[in-house]
Structure 1
Amino acid sequence: MNRIPTPQVATEALSDRERAVAERFAAGLTYREIGGALFIAPSTVRTHLATIYGKLGVRNKIELAASVAQMVAGRTATEAVAPLRDAEPASPTLAVFPIESLNPEERWRRFADGLSSDICVDLARFADLPVIAFHTMKLLGNRPESFEDHVQAVGATYAITGQLRADDRRVRLTIQLSDTRTGMTLWSERYERTMEDVLTLQDSLTESVINVLAGCFGTLAAIGRKASRQKPPGSLQAYDYFLLGVEQHNRFSPDGNAAAMQLLTRSIELDPGRARAWTELAYAHSIQAANGFGDDLESARKNWRSAAEEALRLDPTDPAGHTCIGDFKACIGDLAGAAEAHARALEYGRNNADTLALLAGAKALIVGDPADGIPFIERALSLNPLGPPWYHGMFARVLFVVGRYRACLSALEKSSQESPNTLMFQAMAHAYLGEMEEAAEVVSRLQTQFPSFTVEGFIAGYPISNPPALSAVREGARLARLV
């Protein structure tokens, strides 16, 4: 029997390109999808896989998935088959068991398999942790006698299982996330949809599950952050630092942003290949630039650009990376490049709530028709009801630019209260409504809490380059006596 190499041997054996192909193939992507992501022909993908199988000494997808999971998680083959309660992986791994159809008809079994595959592939793209290939899990079946018998073969930390029931009018999906080490259910949900076009129905269910599970404040991230906080500082791994860094970044405060940069930098030191860590670090530098959290705008911009470019080098299909580099291009006056990058982000993340929320803000302040941002943010909030406060901050920006100031203030109440630009938009919205006393009170708080923040600095650093937004912000700042 072939022995799967240890992660160190596997990492040294594979080139960067081979490693990228192996991880995507193990996540369930097809030759064509891998080729599109890495800008190579499907036949080249097939050639790489033949080499990968030889270097890793694996014979099938199950062994390849196990090897990739070990390589990413940083564990040896011996650890992979040890009881999971005795071995804490450096990074969790997720397994999606095929959804069980409770209907006897073959068409519903095919529908359940298609739904399972879509969930698996989309989670591999957006969940920031390794996902075992669906074809591998299908070989194990959807009714395991016990998790332990199956997850040890592939090294999964979390498992998703589900059941599907349908009639001529409605489809019901019950799905749950479990900890394979304890067997405890961590999250469960029931989705009901009316009968419609089968592919549209499949997309609708997939989108609902993915965005609740895999968003930046989704269930998987929340579980990971809780586990990371319970670890002694000396035992934190790259994934722990990443999760905690994202949490701090999403506060949008000076100390939160500084902590985020430290945590994300440490995550990258331990695992420089995690594209989303680079993207989050790029966004932290952009927040520093826009909000006056540092003294050197040019250095912040330089770090913003280099981190975003590295993220896209590692993962050319990361929609957050494209939105981030698009925002930067607008900062240097390349509005056509910004629009192109945002279009690419939408191409790769049109069903990802985080991407849609970011693009809503970009439509309002950077480039595009601000009114187009409203359906973007409304869909983001629909896809992910657990959306973080910054979703509402993006909604507020759109509402401000289109002149819906009362609704803007309502959205700002749900946004981050630690961010200076929240106070800026509050003051300006009150001023446009003629509520000068309220505007003056907010301006006083802004100047006291964030003395280095300026409207012109936010315009230059965010940036605000969309003509209607630029006009609205400058006039609002004048009315609120922010300048």
Structure 2
Amino acid sequence: MTFDVASKAQALDALSGRERAVAEKFAAGMTYREIGNALFIAPTTVRTHLAAIYEKLGVRTKIGLAACFAGASSAPARSLSGAPPVLAIFPIECLNSEERWRRFADGLSSDITIDLARYAGLPVIAFHTMKSLGSKPADFAADGKALGVTYFVSGQLRADDQRIRLTIELADAGNGVSLWSERYDRPIEDIFALQDSLTENVINVLAGSFGTLATVGRNAARRKPPASLRAYDFYLLAVEQHTTFSRAGNAEAIRLFSRALELDPTFANCWAELAYAYSVEACNGFGDDLLTSIENWRITAENALRLDPTDSCAHACLGNVRACLGDLEGAERAHRRALEYGSHHAGILPLLAGSKALVAGDPAEAIPLIERAMRLNPLAPPWYFGMQGRILFAAGRHREAVAALRRSSPESPDVLMFLALSHAAMGETAEAARAAARLRAEFPGFSVERFIAGYPVTNRDALLAIRHAAELANLP
């Protein structure tokens, strides 16, 4: 069966989330047993899934299955005008002669390839394709041009009985210039946990709104004339504005995301980020009408999931907007899906942690989620701390909440609100009054009840704590 880019995306859409995970790992060269261990299912269950996968994709061999994933990402195909850069991961070079370390290096390469394709929103050349090429980074120019590769990642691994040392480098495929490199030195304890830990760290340093790839892309976009910007360039610039969480930044983010979608309406992750921007508009009072913000939020989240049912950001956004509309059971279902698809995604975990603390679910689960996000992303941006602050406030840990909030964005009204609430809850009336005065002066359209309705705050204990502290702080 022959696949073009569009038919690949259509065929892969037929797979369930679990089937896709099995198919990706099998196409990358993993055995039934390895896949079973990775996904916590029996090898016989893997075999059953593969039979269904072959039938849905209309393929008969592993080569045919691999062809479906070659050059395909978890996002749908995009138009040429909006195509993001393409990434290739070289098989990590093992400098040990033992076969077990060669297998470890291959497993690590495969996991990084699969997870980057899933979480970075970038097309990533399939691992089996890169392995079959057999080329080295130094002589990759011709192969990279043929595959349309923009950046490549290479690495070396050394190991002994006590430690593993991994060096990872990101380079420009056009000229081979190194753009980023890092060395990881870890003790050998549980080898499988170590593999997961290394994979997660590499993914979250490279990917996400503050990752190396996004930074490189934004810097390149700023050097281009405005008329030559592609959808992906507008998307990167929009994410940067969005994460300021200021009124002006959020408005500019909505404009830039919308411009990207005019160029490429199939850009699923862009729809998800636009939904998130509308959610920020709703809870912070940045828009003229709350109901309009909520409706835009709902429509954009649903658009994202129609294009990519595995988008964890879209599921997180849909969960909160369902709570806004009174569907708490639907909210919890959406949050579970977000965690299923984004359990290793440092940018999604803070969103889910905030939802656990304030919206729906078990608030006790919120703190481990935000702590995991901080561990996964050593470049933790300011908004992580804003989310951590509101979670700690809901948990009654007000002193810690203040410390976290002071590391967040000073231009965000919800940060000022939770600062005032936390100080008021500790009886620090002067500090609470100063934060409340700033909130009234800088964000006259903001109110506690607007935040409660637009976030939304539906967990009973968090709702009572916010309203009680708001009275103490004399907040609007």
Same fold by TM-score greater than 0.5: yes
Amino acid across the alignment from 2:453: A
8 Å CA contact 1:28, 1:134 repeated in 2: no
Distance 1:204 1:366, change over 3 A: same
Partner of 1:350: 343
Partner of 1:128: 121
Residue 143 (str. 1) matches residue 136 (str. 2): yes
Three-state SS of the structure 2 residue aligned to 1:14 is helix
State the distance in 2 between where 1:345 and 1:170 align: 34
Q: Which runs of 5+ in 2 are unaligned?
A: 36-47
Partner of 1:173: 166
Amino acid across the alignment from 1:65: A
**In the TM superposition, what whole-angstrom CA distance separates every residue of 1:337-390 from its partner, at most 9, and x where no partner exists?**
212221221122112111211111111111233232111111111110112211
1:254-269 matches, within 5 Å, as 254-269=247-262
Partner of 1:275: 268
1:323-338 matches, within 5 Å, as 323-338=316-331
Partner of 1:46: 54
8 Å CA contact 1:65, 1:154 repeated in 2: no
Question: Which shows bigger deviation, 235-244 or 353-362?
Answer: 353-362
Three-state SS of the structure 2 residue aligned to 1:353 is coil
The percentage of counterpart residues that share the same residue type is: 55
Amino acid across the alignment from 1:216: S
Three-state SS of the structure 2 residue aligned to 1:362 is helix
State the distance in 1 between where 2:461 and 2:68 align: 56
1:144-223 matches, within 5 Å, as 144-223=137-216
Structure 2 length as normaliser, TM-score?
0.87
Residue 65 (str. 1) matches residue 73 (str. 2): no
Amino acid across the alignment from 2:70: A
Partner of 2:454: 461
8 Å CA contact 1:323, 1:359 repeated in 2: yes
8 Å CA contact 1:215, 1:384 repeated in 2: no
> Following TM superposition, where does structure 1 have runs of at least 4 consecutive aligned residues deviating by more than 3 angstroms?
13-16, 18-22, 27-33, 40-53, 58-69, 71-75
State the distance in 2 between where 1:350 and 1:336 align: 21
Over aligned residue pairs, what C-alpha RMSD do you find? 2.9
State the distance in 1 between where 2:145 and 2:65 align: 17
1:373 to 357, 366, 374: 366
1:233-272 matches, within 5 Å, as 233-272=226-265
Residue 339 (str. 1) matches residue 332 (str. 2): yes
State the distance in 2 between where 1:52 and 1:232 align: 48
Distance 1:422 1:150, change over 3 A: same
Distance 1:110 1:457, change over 3 A: same
Q: CA deviation at 1:147?
A: 2.5
Partner of 1:410: 403
**In the TM superposition, what whole-angstrom CA distance separates every residue of 1:381-435 from its partner, at most 9, and x where no partner exists?**
1110112211101100111111111111111111111111111111111112222
Amino acid across the alignment from 2:167: T
**In the TM superposition, what whole-angstrom CA distance separates every residue of 1:31-77 from its partner, at most 9, and x where no partner exists?**
799xxxxxx97556435655899xxxx999679836989x95756xx
Question: Which shows bigger deviation, 367-376 or 116-125?
Answer: 367-376
State the distance in 2 between where 1:280 and 1:171 align: 37
Partner of 1:481: 474
Amino acid across the alignment from 1:242: Y
Distance 1:458 1:141, change over 3 A: same
1:447 to 423, 440, 455: 440
State the distance in 1 between where 2:96 and 2:172 align: 27
Amino acid across the alignment from 2:187: T
